[in-house]
Amino acid sequence: MKHIYLNLKRFDIPKGLGGVNSIAPIKEWGAYIVENTKKALAQYGEDEAEFVMYLPEAHLLSAIGALDAGGNLAIGSQGIHREDVKEGGNFGAFTANRTGKAMKALGCSSVLIGHCEERRDKLGIMAEAGVNDTDAVNRILNQEVKAAVEAGLTVLYCIGESAEEQDKWQEVLGKQLQIGLKDVDATKVAIAYEPIWSIGPGKTPAGKDYIQMIARFVKERTGGMAVAYGGGLKTDNAAMLASIPEIDGGLIALTRFQGDIGFYPDEYLEIIRMYMGR
């Protein structure tokens, strides 16, 4: 089984406002992406591959509404709050926070937790208080993972090391796994590995041997959890990643990085065709 994830970040912002969206009006954006990919994705059997799209919250309803019943395409939330409503207790005092049960009620089936951008945000908040504690970030993320599973969602949990952490990657990734997944039902979680040091313009992409080494490490530490490459599955590396036995899929973001930069459904489908071999 292959696992192909799509993180649409804030790609909904129109180009006129400084974003990258030129494919659809903002109100139709989520549904447009689903409508223009679901038929092609259906050619892959449900026992062959699963596809999950993580959208900004405003687009979840339209995207979910465009889904066909059943199938191998699911919609997920970009993160959730670490607490949730409880019967006989807190019935909704979560202003500005989206909870796992709220996302489940909308129709989401999965959630993205621990993305390097989320980790950076949490560290930035701590830095305002004069604190630099990556273990604390892992503990907060552990609460989010637990809240997601309790709400009935599956989780794509991201791990990764920065350039400053690369010489101690085993310690860094080990703690992200040990602390972040403490007392969590492993059957509800997949791992996305993000080599943060290699992501971005002008940086050298992680090579096959390095990615395979990390994937083996993660599988050993987690008892064989599914591992997706989170450094960006794209046309340039799809065939290479498909050749690594320990890699079970990938996380796609932008599809075009030069010229008319943005996310385009037809290019998304081409990446999948290259990775799946058809």
Which positions of the chain have pLDDT values less than 70? none
Structure tokens at 69: 């019943």
Structure confidence by residue, pLDDT tens digits, 143-168: 999 999 999 999 999 999 999 999 99
**Distance from C-alpha of 156 to C-alpha of 271, rounded to nearest angstrom:** 20
Catalytic residue among 115, 118, 144, 161: 115
Active site residue 59: no
Q: What's the pLDDT score for residue 46?
A: 93
Q: What's the pLDDT score for residue 200?
A: 86
Lookup result for tokens 């075009």: 256
Under a CB-based contact definition with an 8 Å cutoff, are residues 2 and 51 in contact? no
If DSSP states are collapsed to H, E and C, what string results for the chain? CEEEEEECCCCCCEHHHCCCECCCCHHHHHHHHHHCCHHHHCCCCCCCEEEEEEECHHHHHHHHHCCCCCCCEEEEECCCCCCCCCCCCCCCCCCCCCCHHHHHHHCCCEEEECCHHHHHHHHHHHHHCCCCCHHHHHHHHHHHHHHHHHCCCEEEEEECCCHHHHHHHHHHHHHHHHHHCCCCCHHHEEEEECCHHHCCCCCCCCCHHHHHHHHHHHHHHHCCCCEEECCCCCCCCHHHHHCCCCCCEEEECCCECCCCCECCHHHHHHHHHHHHCC
The domains located in the chain, with CATH, are 2-276 (3.20.20.70)
Q: What's the pLDDT score for residue 70?
A: 86
Active site residue 150: no
Q: Strand pairing of 2-7 and 189-193?
A: unpaired
**Distance from C-alpha of 275 to C-alpha of 92, rounded to nearest angstrom:** 42
Q: Give the up-direction half-sphere exposure of residue 113: CA atoms within 13 A in the CB hemisphere.
A: 34
Q: What's the pLDDT score for residue 269?
A: 98
φ/ψ of 192, rounded to 5, equals -115, 120
Structure tokens at 117: 């951008």
Q: What's the pLDDT score for residue 23?
A: 98
Gyration radius of the chain over CA positions: 18
**Distance from C-alpha of 87 to C-alpha of 98, rounded to nearest angstrom:** 17
Q: What's the pLDDT score for residue 157?
A: 99
Q: What's the pLDDT score for residue 149?
A: 98
